[in-house]
Chains A and B, each alone.
Chain A
Amino acid sequence: MFQIFVNTHYNIVGKRVYAYWISGLLILAGLLSFIFQGLNYGIDFRGGTLIQMKFEEPITAGEIRSLLKNPELGTPQIQRSGPNEYMIRVLSIGTGDEIQEIIQKDLQEKKFEVRRAEIVGPKIGEELRRKAIGAIFAALFLILVYISIRFEMKFAIGAVLALFHDVLITLGLFSLFQWEISMPVLAAFLTIVGYSLNDTIVVYDRIRENRLTHKNKAFPDVINLSINESLSRTVITSLTTFLVVLILVLFGGEVLFGFSIAMLIGIIVGTYSSSFVASPLLIIWDKKVRQKEMKKK
């Protein structure tokens, strides 16, 4: 039998303080970046015009920028998306096809094909943002309810805190690297919520089971045992999903890049948080442990 992580006895719960530090620092870094740079909302959430064009001859982003001189365009964002292919993003939408016309007029001396053109009114962008935040909270709330029913309240709180942790860190990285937040990225966030929870629940499920079979053990030890017992499953599953998403990052193309990278980060953070954050968090709510630790002091 070819296997990894069998009969491990890592003292993960005992080292939870380190995990709290790591998570705390990551979240702090994300928050700081969030405060100082904010998020790079794509046109989906902010309104604007996006045009993806493929040129017949080699051209650089700088050349395109120097050609786009109409003041109406503001400072267009120009991003390479393939060989001789660029995405041009402009904040303004003008009326109807106006912006697209201006861009095409400015670039008329070059030969190109418009592969994609997206115009999102600011009204829609604002609405989508509102709806998106609503959706994330609705998902979190429903999950909280479900876990409360299937487990106990403290498990639910632990799981949702871990979810916040995952989404905060992923969002923080998106802010840090100024990756664009688009609709697919939002979908990825919601999937991360589901996926990371999946991981957490597997461990919780073990804890629930082991609490019945190891009645004489202290709660932290039960948690530690459960994390160790599910370790090989956690690693294997995460590894395979990681592989699959990595393929998407590498071969999925520009359209899926944001989605894939968000998923990739989410899987790493989610795996880490289910073993090192979500389960140890349960101890905080365990009165006995708290009292014991009080006595030691």
Chain B
Amino acid sequence: MQKKFVLNYVIIGVLLVWAAWQLLPTLRYETMSEERKEELRMQGDLEPIQNRIIRRGLDLQGGMHLVLEVNVSKLTQNIAQNKSQSYYQFMNQVEEIFTAQTDRDYFDILEEMANAQNFRLARHFPGRGDENSQIIASLRKEAADAVLRAEEIIRNRVDQFGVSEPTIQRQGDRRIIVELAGVTDPERATNLIQSTAQLEFILLKDPEVVQDAISRIDAVMKKVEPETLTDSTTVEDRVSQNKEVSVEELFGLTENQTDTKGDSTALVDEKIFKDRPFSALLRNLGNDIGVPAENYYAVNRVLQNPEVQRVLPADIRILWSNAPETFTTQDGTQKKFYRLYFVNRDPGLTGAVVTDAQATLGGMNGSNMGQPIVNVSMNSEGAKTWSRMTGANVGKRIAIVLDDKVQIAPVIRDRISGGRTVIEGLANIEEAKDIEICLKAGALPAPVDIIEKRTIGPSLGADSIRKGTMSALIGLLLVVLFMVIYYRGSGIVAFVTLVLNIIFVLSILALLRATLTLPGIAGLVLTVGMAVDANVLIFERIREELRKGKTVKASVDNGYSRAIITILDANLTTLIAALVLWQFGTGPIRGFAVVLFWGIVFNFISGYFISKTILTTVTHGRTLKKLSI
């Protein structure tokens, strides 16, 4: 061996040691038994290993990928004050444009509309300046803060949910990406993350006001109904016969498709249907308005009807109870009912004042004995408001509302001081626990919408690993077979460099704590293809030189020095494509780009540098007459 190669071998040696050091934890971890893992976990020794292994992407181990967007429109409306009829009219217009033109910024629309209609935002957003532009700027800042806060709150919730290695990051200025690996109950996780945990204490409207509102809706529906019905007599017949008619037939509300689920028939009270079509959907439930579960969607549709919304007083908000309750009706059958509440538009008190929450089962003696409840404590400011509010409205009813659903609406018997209250009406202790987590982590400053959600079951992940690994191995085997048949001894050198290339790429993945995704495995397979190319280019060049009658030594030297230019140009262009992908892609695609990028980088090292060192050593040491190529 000549002296000039010593340095080369030292470099190669260092690289190999580095690769072994990087990959060892992964090898250890993957071959470890579950019991051993558990054992190490108890000793606290598992985490250092886990921190150094190549992580699997969600598509390989199963899990959930969520993209959430903070609803700035709702945020703005939560901030607004002095809400008047004209305010609601204006905001509804803005909302309409915002939903229609998806690519526009909410605040741009708000500002444009306010300026166009000479609408003074300062009236509804006091303390932020006089000019519309000042207010918009301040709202923008508030929205940006809200996204930051939402990210923090979601992180807290997820941490308490107990998923290993959750990823939570912001994307752009409105979005939050949440990745939960190996989550077993995606539905519960989604609810926990998405629930705003907006706790509100709202006074119920007086019965006279409610009666008036229902009459107004009846009047509207009576007008709508006969016109849109093509065959009203048959419907009325069927109403009196079997009491089941489709909602479309009832109200002709097909244009409003926002709430369609399986149940599209409704149960109506035939006696009053003709005069009061809306009331016909409702029942008396003690002091409350009950809605048979079958009528839930029908009632919702009526309430969402723009005509109906127009005639309702602006300061009324209509809320559902959180879950249906079962009652026995007069004829002895069991029926499920929701309750419908008419409450003030503005809450008297919100969850912002909550300092602590505790899920528990209701104690002895109480009406909620053995039922899951959440005890809520408030700060001094909240306690003051709560005491004043309850004191001034003794005898009236107050709704405790969580995320727009009424949990319970008790009558205020006395002033409540000390800032404590109880949330009841929960299905089970898990729900109580989730509410506790949410209330403690804080309410989201604004509702978040799920705009992308990908859930991959663990079995599909395992399938993908198997298929991906198998393809990679078969691919490698075929290529190696071909190279050895075609290039003989040099083919073996190519094989060594190919394997090294893959080892190096995996090492860098471990070092960077990057995740290996299914497209990432595809990237590895492709890297094999690209790495072969470097070898082919070199070997073909050497053969060409040999054919020209040059010595083995000269041919090898020339081959490498000529081929490197080609390899450089060809690989750098692919590198550009990989970089663009890296920048553009999310999740799995980025996984592919990362692997491709490093595959090319290491191609220079193993496909050129190492291969050259080996072949040159072989040919320079002695005077070879023939090269196995």
Complex CA distance for A147 and B577, rounded to whole angstroms: 13
For window 176-206 of A, CB contacts with B under 8 Å fall at 183-184, 186-187, 190-191, 193-195, 197-199, 201-202, 204-206
Q: Which residues of B contact A15 (CB under 8 A)?
A: none
**Complex interface residues of chain B between 204 and 233 (CB less than 8 A to chain A):** none
Residues of A in contact, count (CB < 8 Å): 79
- Which of these, B261, B452, B525, B593, contacts A102 with CB under 8 Å? B261
Q: Mark A234-254, 1 if CB is under 8 A from B, else 0.
A: 001101110111011011110
Interface set of A (CB-CB < 8 Å, partner B): 1-3, 6, 52, 54, 70-72, 96-98, 102, 105, 113-124, 126-127, 131-132, 134-135, 138-139, 142-143, 146-147, 150, 183-184, 186-187, 190-191, 193-195, 197-199, 201-202, 204-206, 209, 229, 232-233, 236-237, 239-241, 243-245, 247-248, 250-253, 255-256, 259-260, 263
Task: Give Cα distance in the complex from A135 to B586, angstroms.
Answer: 13
CB distance from B519 to the nearest CB of A (A): 6
B141 to chain A, nearest CB (A): 24
Identify which of A54, A195, A241, A248 contacts B522 (C-beta below 8 A): A248
Going nearest first, the 6 A-B pairs with the smallest beta carbon separation are: A194-B577, A194-B574, A241-B529, A121-B451, A135-B584, A244-B475
Residues of B within 8 A of A197 (CB): 570, 573-574, 577
Q: Which A residues touch B488, using CB under 8 A?
A: 2
Q: Distance in Å from the Cβ of B27 to the closest Cβ of chain A?
A: 24
Chain A interface main SS type? helix
B578 contacts across to A, CB distance below 8 A? 194
**Stretch of B237-245, B415-423, B437-445, B457-465 contacting A (4+ beta carbons < 8 Å):** B457-465
Query: CB-CB < 8 A to B547: which residues of A?
Result: 6
A139 lies within 8 A of B576 (CB) = yes
On whether the beta carbons of B526 and A263 are closer than 8 Å, the reply is yes
Q: Determine if A248 and B471 form an interchain contact, defined as CB atoms under 8 angstroms apart.
A: yes
Does B314 sit within 8 A of A, measured CB to CB? no
Q: By the criterion CB–CB under 8 Å, are B536 and A233 in contact?
A: yes
Q: Does B453 contact A (CB under 8 A)?
A: yes
B544 contact set on A, CB distance < 8 A: 229
In the complex, which residues of chain B have a beta carbon less than 8 angstroms from the beta carbon of A97?
187, 190, 453
| Interfacial chain A residues near B194, Cβ < 8 Å | 96
A187: min CB distance to chain B, Å: 5
Given A116-B456, A126-B102, check contact A2 B486 (CB 8 Å): yes
Cβ-defined contact, B529 with A244, below 8 A: yes
Alpha-carbon separation in the docked complex, A123 to B580 (Å): 22
A120 vs B65: C-alpha distance in the bound complex, in angstroms?
Answer: 11
Residues in B565-591 with C-beta less than 8 Å from chain A: 565-566, 569-578, 580-581, 583-585, 588-589
Tell me the residues in window 537-574 of chain B with beta carbons closer than 8 Å to chain A beta carbons.
Answer: 537, 540, 543-544, 547, 562, 565-566, 569-574
Q: Name B566's contact: one of A70, A201, A248 (CB within 8 Å).
A: A201
Of A54, A146, A186, the residue contacting B573 (CB under 8 A) is: A146
Residues of A within 8 A of B565 (CB): 205
> How many Å lie between the Cα of A236 and that of B186 in the bound state?
48
B535 to chain A, nearest CB (A): 9
A240 x B453 contact (CB < 8 A): no
Identify which of B187, B529, B540, B574 contacts A245 (C-beta below 8 A).
Answer: B529
Q: Does B624 contact A (CB under 8 A)?
A: no
B532 within 8 A of A: yes
In chain A, what residue has the closest Cβ to B591?
A187
Distance in angstroms between the alpha carbons of A260 and B190 in the assembled complex:
33
Contact call A198/B574, Cβ cutoff below 8 A: yes
Smallest Cβ distance from B320 to chain A, in angstroms? 15
The answer, yes or no, to whether B468 is at the interface (CB within 8 Å) is: yes
List 23 A-B pairs, Cβ < 8 Å: A1-B543, A115-B456, A116-B457, A119-B453, A139-B577, A139-B580, A183-B589, A184-B589, A187-B581, A194-B574, A195-B530, A195-B574, A198-B570, A205-B565, A205-B566, A233-B537, A237-B537, A240-B536, A248-B522, A251-B474, A256-B518, A256-B522, A259-B519
Asked, given contacts A1-B543, A240-B529, A247-B478, whether A184 binds B519 with beta carbons under 8 Å apart, the answer is yes
**Given the complex of chains A and B, what is the CA–CA distance between A106 and B228 in angstroms?**
30
Give A101 to B538 CA distance when docked, in angstroms.
58
The answer to whether the Cβ of B260 comes within 8 Å of any Cβ in the partner chain is yes
Do the beta carbons of B543 and A121 come within 8 Å of each other?
A: no
Inter-chain contact A187/B474, CB cutoff 8 Å: no
Asked whether A124 lies within 8 Å of B525 as measured between CB atoms, the reply is no
B455 CB within 8 Å of chain A? yes
Q: How far is the CB of B510 from chain A (nearest CB, A)?
A: 23
Q: Which residues of A contact B537 (CB under 8 A)?
A: 202, 233, 237
B-chain residues with CB within 8 Å of residue A126 when the two chains form the complex: 102-103
Apart from the given pairs A184-B589, A243-B475, 18 other A-B contacts in the complex at a CB distance below 8 Å: A2-B486, A96-B190, A97-B453, A114-B457, A115-B457, A121-B450, A124-B452, A126-B103, A146-B573, A183-B585, A187-B592, A205-B569, A240-B478, A240-B532, A243-B482, A251-B467, A252-B471, A256-B519
Report chain A residues within 8 Å CB of B413: none
B464 and A3 contacting across the interface, CB-CB below 8 Å: no
Q: Using Cβ atoms and an 8 Å threshold, which residues of chain B touch A71?
A: 260
Chain A residues within 8 Å of B463, by CB: 253
